[in-house]
Amino acid sequence: MSSRDVVVLSVGGLRFVTRPSTLQRFPESRLARMLSNEDREFKQVNGEFFVDRDGNLFSYIMDFLRTLQVSLPTDFSDYQRLQREAEFYELHALAELLGHEHLLKPRQEILEVRFFLQEAQAFFRIFGSCSSTVEALAEQITVFTDQQSGQSWNSPFPSQKPLLPLPLERPSHHDMVFQCGTEFSAGDQFVARYVSIKPDTRKLINGTNVLGLLVDTLLGDGFRLISTRTVWSGEKVECYTLERMRRPAVAQAKGSQVPKGR
C-alpha cells in the first residue's frame, strides 16, 4: 500500500479517513498490523476496515496518532475507558500516559486581587496559585511615573514628555505589588503613577478604573469572579477572588519510526 493512499475505518458506526503512515506510527500496534493483514479481527468491507469498538473514543486515539499528544476536553472523564481502548489497539505508549490520569486532568487555578484605596492613591497586590500566570500578567502590566510641580500638575492625563516605566514589586513567584495615583514628594513636587495593562494602551491613574480594567482583562483570559470580600474594614482592603480551569501541560509520547517502504 502506497503512503499516498488513504485508509478508511468504520469504528462503532463512525467513519475515519487517514493515511497509512498515521496508523503505522507505532508498528507494534494492532492498527499497524491491520494494514498488512496480520490481524484477522479487523475485516475489510467494501474497502473499509470495520472495527466493532467505541467510535467516539477512537477519535481521541486518532488525534494521538496524528500529534503524539494527549489533549482531551476539560470535561472529559472516561480515562479508564479510553485506556482500555488504547490497550485493545496495543498502543502501549498511550495507555501508559492515560494511566497517569491525575496529570491529564485540568486543575483549578486561583487568583486573588487585593485593592486598597487611600486618598489619591490605590495599592494592588495580586496572588496566584500558578506562578506562570502571575509571570505572564506581570509582563502585561506597566507602571509609569511622572513628576511635576504641584502648581503645574492639574490633570489626570500624563504629560507629553516620555514617562519613566517602573518595575513591579515581586515579593515571590506567586505575587506582585504595584500602585497608581498621586502623592507629594519633596517640596511642592507631585509624583503621578499611571498603570497600563496590555492589550489596552491607556495609561490610567484612577485606582477604580485600573481595578475595572484588571478584572476585565482577567475575565477575558478565562477567569471568573467567584467572590468579593473586605479583608480589613478599617482600611477598606477589598479582595476579589477569581478562578479558572487550567489545562495541564500536554502529555506527549515518542512515536516509533515507520519503516521505509511501508
- The SS3 of residue 110 is strand
Read off the pLDDT of residues 153-170 as tens digits, 9 standing for 90 and up. 555 556 566 788 988 999
Residues 6 or more apart in contact with residue 134 via CB below 8 angstroms: 111, 126, 127, 128, 173, 174, 175, 176
Give per-residue pLDDT as tens, 205-249.
999 999 999 999 999 999 999 999 988 766 689 999 999 877 665
Q: Which CATH number among 3.30.428.10, 3.60.70.12, 3.30.710.10, 3.90.1150.10 corresponds to the domain 7-99?
A: 3.30.710.10
Residue 1 DSSP label: -
Residue extents of the structural domains in the chain: 7-99, 110-149+162-244
pLDDT of residue 156: 57
The pLDDT tens digits for 57-112 are: 999 999 999 999 888 887 788 999 999 999 999 999 999 999 887 777 777 899 99
User: Residue 128 CB: number of other CB atoms within 10 A?
Assistant: 22
Instruction: Give the number of other CB atoms < 10 A from CB of residue 57.
Output: 17
Paired with 246 in beta bridges are: 107
| Position 28, amino acid | E
